[in-house]
Amino acid sequence: MNSKRRFQWIDRQTVGTKLKLANLFTSGIVIFLAGVLLLALQAYLSGMALLEQARTEAAVVGNNISAAIIFKDHASAKEILGTLKAFEDVAHASVFDAEQNIFSDYAKAAQHDMRTDTQGGLRGNAYDFSLHRLRVSHPIDYEGKAIGTVHIDTDLASTYRRIGWYALSISIIMLACLTIANMVLRRLQQFVTAPLHALAKTSTAISEQGDVSLRATVDASEDLGMLAKAFNAMLDRIEKREIELECEIEERKRVEVKLDRLAHFDSVTGLHNRYFFHDRLGSAIAQAQALHQRTFVMFLDLDNFKAVNDTLGHDVGDELLRVVAQRLRDAVPAGDTVARLGGDEFAIILENVADGSTGETVAKRCIDALSRMVRINGNEIYISGSIGLSSCPDDAVDVNALLKFADTAMYYAKNAGKNTYRVFNSSMQGEAQKRFAMNGNLRRALERDQFVLQYQPQIDLVTGQIFGVEALIRWAHPDLGLISPMEFIPLAEETGLIVPIGAWVLKSACLQLKAWHDEGYTQLHMAVNLSARQLAEDTFVETVLDIVRTTGVNPRMLELELTESMLMDAGDAFIAKLDTLRQAGIMLAIDDFGTGYSSMSYLKRFPINTIKVDRSFVRDLPDSAQDKAITKAIISMAHSLQMRVIAEGIETDRQEVVLTADGCNSGQGYLYSPPVNADEISKLARLVKPVDIPLEDDRLSARRAAIATKTRSSHERV
Ligand code: C2E
Ligand code: MG
Ligand code: MG
């Protein structure tokens, strides 16, 4: 654990410090070992020198003292031994005779304790090192005969001292060397660590600044230089990869943004799309519930967009959608969602609304915004929208229900004459359900023959004669009584049931017309309404001609009513169908003229015989100067194209007077008769059966009055 911690400490050190420590440790050990060896050598050499010296001293003493031993001259012997005083280290000397008895001795004043009176086992030429002294023995000869031995004890203290000084000097030298080594190492270490520092600095800068274009500048050529080169090369690759990655990420982001736009935005208007709208509405509902606030959903359908698209082209149509989108964005509070659900349908979410009237305020603003004229490529376009409003939590708290209710309310706005808004209420839901149930019933009604036709007379305004009738369908419901076509025709069109229903109408009308003609009312024309779905059928012309043939009716007395929108949808195949009908002698009329996107150009393109001026232009006559101008313009235009004009919805004499004055040929309306049963028509037609009516004004008026009175009274009876 301890050693681990120690290593951790070392691990934490810089490479420089580690290098320094390693070098110091190595050189320390080397210097220390060298010192120890030198010291040992020194001790050995000192010992040897001391031994040599002691031996020399012993030899000299032995040579000099032999005569004294022979002559047993102790005094001389003492004197000779006394010369040893000159040698500092000699502590004691003893001379033994041949019998091993001490003959003489010498002791340095302070060294008596070292004296030995015995030879201590040491004989002849020998020596003995002990801790504190060196004893040397030397034989004393006289003429080749051993006469004694001299022992000299040398004190080792001064030798120790010398060695001590030597050790101290070596230590100081060692330390000095280490210090110098340390200083040198420090300088040298910089050469080693500088490139490493440069690499480390570069790595740190890169990680801190994230700038991989930085490079390490290292001059070394070998190992570290190579390392630096490798490091820089690695950075080059990282940088390249990084640039590639950035490009890749950029590209991916662009694709993601594009996908996100495609997934959430409408490509034409830049508004949110249906998918985003559903998501957003889901969260808006959740938030409204959490905050106890209201969220409004507005469903907006443009009223006459299709006409613009078809007559002015898709580019203008797209531009118009963009203008509408911008106007809606401006009309809706910032932060609320405006989306295009597809085609000419837009939807708006008003979130976190505290005031219940906000929805209507915004709806009004949207309608006003749309009603301003739009100019695109020099075309002045008037557009309007119908809006349905539903709110959470008042009406529903789920996305689909809210949308359905807003859609239902929007239909009510359309039915109320378009260019307006309606707020959803629960009675509408009942209506919606009724519509749904009606779909099933409609099919059964056709099977059970519950449809009936009524006929509304068309009057020649000049002669006052009934020259024709318009066949109008009703549903004779066993429980609900007569149901208006306004209630079920749109549904029949949606479901396609209008095709068999339309065929039934045409056949019944033709049979009736044939019957009247057979009765002698040969002046009667029959107008039959057509729906777009019927005309779209490949077998349509065949069906009509077949009915005409089988009923035996005169095709010149049959008039098919088309609407402007049908003509605007027309392609070549459609025109070909109309041409075929015309060639067969069948007449064609444009119903409700002026309510669609009226374009004079198509009047020329189609083989039209009659224009029916919509009753919305007749209603305010003669008071509305604008309507007066419009009806007059339509009448004169129709005449210049050699077409008959029928004014629809004439309810008052005043209306009739203006229209007649403006040259209108014919009229249809409650002033003469509402739609009535077939036998009522026979009675009315009988009134005008004589064909030779003089064209005098007073008689004409009288006849017209008579017709009106008759039809009104007969209608009252129905
Ligand atoms: P439309 O073809 O424009 O028919 C004229 C409508 O105006 C009729 O309503 C008629 O009753 C009404 N009307 C006539 N004179 C006056 C008047 O003086 N004042 C007012 N306020 N209204 C008047 P109706 O019968 O309810 O028919 C409504 C629409 O239903 C028709 O409009 C037509 O578009 C459609 N329709 C009726 N029968 C058929 C049919 O057999 N097939 C198809 N496809 N549509 C039909
Ligand atoms: Mg009609
Ligand atoms: Mg009409």
pLDDT digit string, tens, across residues 497-535: 899 999 999 999 999 999 999 988 998 999 999 998 898
CA dihedral 65, 69, 70, 73 (to 10 degrees): 100
- The reply to whether domains 15-109+116-162 and 274-424 share a CATH topology is no
Q: Is the CB–ligand 1 distance for residue 531 below 6 Å?
A: yes
Using one digit for the tens of pLDDT, what is the confidence trace for 25-77?
A: 888 888 888 888 888 888 888 888 888 888 888 888 888 888 888 888 888 88
Q: How far apart are CA 626 and CA 31, in angstroms?
A: 122
How far is residue 404's CA from residue 297's CA, in Å, rounded to a whole number? Answer: 10
What span, in angstroms and rounded, lies between the C-alpha atoms of 452 and 501? 11
Peptide bond into 485 cis (omega under 30): no
* 653: its two tokens: 């004499």
| CATH fold of the domain at 438-715 | TIM Barrel (3.20.20)
Kindly tell me if the per-residue pLDDT of 21 is higher than 70.
yes
User: Using CA atoms, how far apart are residues 693 and 706, in angstroms rounded to an integer?
Assistant: 14
Backbone phi and psi for residue 619, each to the nearest 5 degrees, phi listed first: -50, -45
Cβ proximity of 295 and 391 under 8 Å? yes
What does the alpha-carbon distance between residue 88 and residue 154 come to, in Å, rounded to a whole number?
A: 9
The verdict on the CB of residue 493 being under 6 Å from ligand 1 is no
- How remote is the CA of residue 675 from the centroid of ligand 1, in Å? 9
In 639-695 the beta strands, taken as DSSP E runs, fall at 644-647, 666-667
Q: Please name the helix (run of DSSP H) or strand (run of DSSP E) that holds residue 297, with its range, or none.
A: strand 294-302
Measured in Å, residue 684 CA sits from the centre of ligand 3 at: 22
Categorize the per-residue pLDDT at 453 as very low, low, confident or very high, splitting at 50, 70 and 90: very high
Tokens of 275: 């998918």
What is the pLDDT confidence band of residue 257, given thresholds at 50, 70 and 90?
confident
Q: Assign 3-state DSSP to the chain and report helix, strand, coil percentages, each to 5.
A: 60, 20, 25
Which residues are CB-neighbours of 120 under 8 A, at least 6 positions away?
128, 135, 151
**Backbone torsions φ then ψ of 586, nearest 5 degrees:** -70, 140
Is beta strand 379-381 parallel, antiparallel or unpaired with respect to 385-392?
unpaired
Ligand 3 center to 596 CA (angstroms):
12
Lowest mean pLDDT among 184-193, 415-424, 575-584: 184-193
Q: What is the pLDDT of residues 70-123, one digit of tens each?
A: 888 888 888 888 888 888 888 888 888 888 888 988 888 755 555 555 556 677
Q: How many CB atoms lie within 10 A of CB 293?
A: 15
Q: Which range (6-15, 148-157, 473-482, 610-619) has the least confidence?
A: 6-15
Q: What pLDDT, on the 0 to 100 scale, is given for residue 690?
A: 39
With H, G, I as helix, E, B as strand and everything else as coil, classify residue 531: coil
Spatial CA neighbour of 560 closest among 595, 596, 523, 585? 585
For residue 180, give both structure tokens: 């110098």
Handedness of CA 675, 678, 680, 686 (dihedral sign): positive
Query: How many angstroms separate the CA atoms of 157 and 32, rounded?
Result: 25
Instruction: Specify the pairing of strand 610-613 against strand 644-647.
Output: parallel
Q: How confident is the model at residue 675, as a pLDDT? A: 95
Length of the chain: 718
Fold of 15-109+116-162: Beta-Lactamase (3.30.450)
Evaluate: CB of 189 within 6 angstroms of ligand 1.
no
Domain boundaries, the chain: 15-109+116-162, 212-260, 274-424, 438-715
CB 504 within 8 A of CB 451: yes
Q: Which ligand has the minimum distance to the alpha carbon of residue 596?
A: 3
Position 711 scores a pLDDT of 44
CA of 223 to the centre of ligand 2 (A): 100
Q: How far apart are CA 370 and CA 331, in angstroms?
A: 10
What pLDDT is recorded for position 717?
32
Token duo for residue 392 = 């959470």
> pLDDT band at 699, cuts 50/70/90?
very low
Locate tokens 């309608």: which residue?
A: 367
Q: How far is the CA of 565 from the centre of ligand 3 (A)?
A: 13
Nearest-CA neighbor of 58 among 134, 162, 118? 134
Q: Tell which one of 446, 454, 458, 489 to mutate to probe ligand 1, the residue whose CB is within 8 A of the most ligand atoms.
A: 489
Burial of 242 (0-12, 13-18, 19+ CB in 10 A): middle
Picking from 280, 678, 310, 636, the residue whose alpha carbon sits closest to that of residue 518 is 678
Backbone angle region of 203, left / alpha / beta, with phi > 0 → left and psi within -120 to 50 → alpha: alpha
274-424 fold: Alpha-Beta Plaits (3.30.70)
CA distances from residue 115 to 75, 95, 110, 417 in whole angstroms, order as listed: 19, 12, 11, 150
DSSP-assigned letter for residue 557: G
Three-state SS letters, 494-509: HHCCHHHHHHHHHHHH
Mean pLDDT of 200-226: 75
Lowest mean pLDDT among 247-261, 386-400, 537-551: 247-261
Ligand 2 centre distance from Cα of residue 562 (Å): 8
Instruction: Give the rounded percent of residues in the chain with a pLDDT score beyond 90.
Output: 35
Out of 452, 472, 612, 650, mutate this one to test ligand 1's pocket (max ligand atoms within 8 Å of CB): namely 472
How far from the centroid of its chain's Cα atoms is residue 490's Cα?
A: 41
How far, in Å, CA of 200 to CA of 544, rounded?
A: 93
Cβ of 465 less than 6 Å from ligand 1: no
Q: Is 487 in the pocket of ligand 1 (CB under 6 A)?
A: no
pLDDT of residue 694: 40
For residue 391, name the pLDDT band (cuts at 50, 70, 90): very high
Query: Which tokens in the block code for residue 419?
Result: 């260019």
Residue closest via CA to ligand 1's atom 43 equals: 529
Q: Are the CB atoms for 585 and 556 separated by under 8 Å? A: yes
Tens of pLDDT, residue by residue over 612-661, are 999 999 999 999 999 999 999 999 989 988 999 999 999 999 999 999 99
Q: Which residues pair with 452 in a beta bridge?
A: 474
Helix, strand, or coil here: 256?
helix
Helix (H) or strand (E) holding 605: helix 600-605
Per-residue burial over 682-702, b = 16 or more CB atoms within 10 Å of its CB, e = otherwise? bebbeebeeeeeeeeeeebee
Is residue 714 predicted with pLDDT exceeding 60? no
At residue 2 the predicted structure's pLDDT band, cuts being 50, 70 and 90, is low
Give the pLDDT score at 713.
43
Is any ligand 1 atom within 6 A of the Cβ of residue 534? no
Quick one: pLDDT band at residue 243, thresholds 50, 70, 90?
confident
Mark the residues whose beta carbon lies below 5 A from ion ligand 2: 529, 561, 591
End-to-end CA distance of the chain: 115
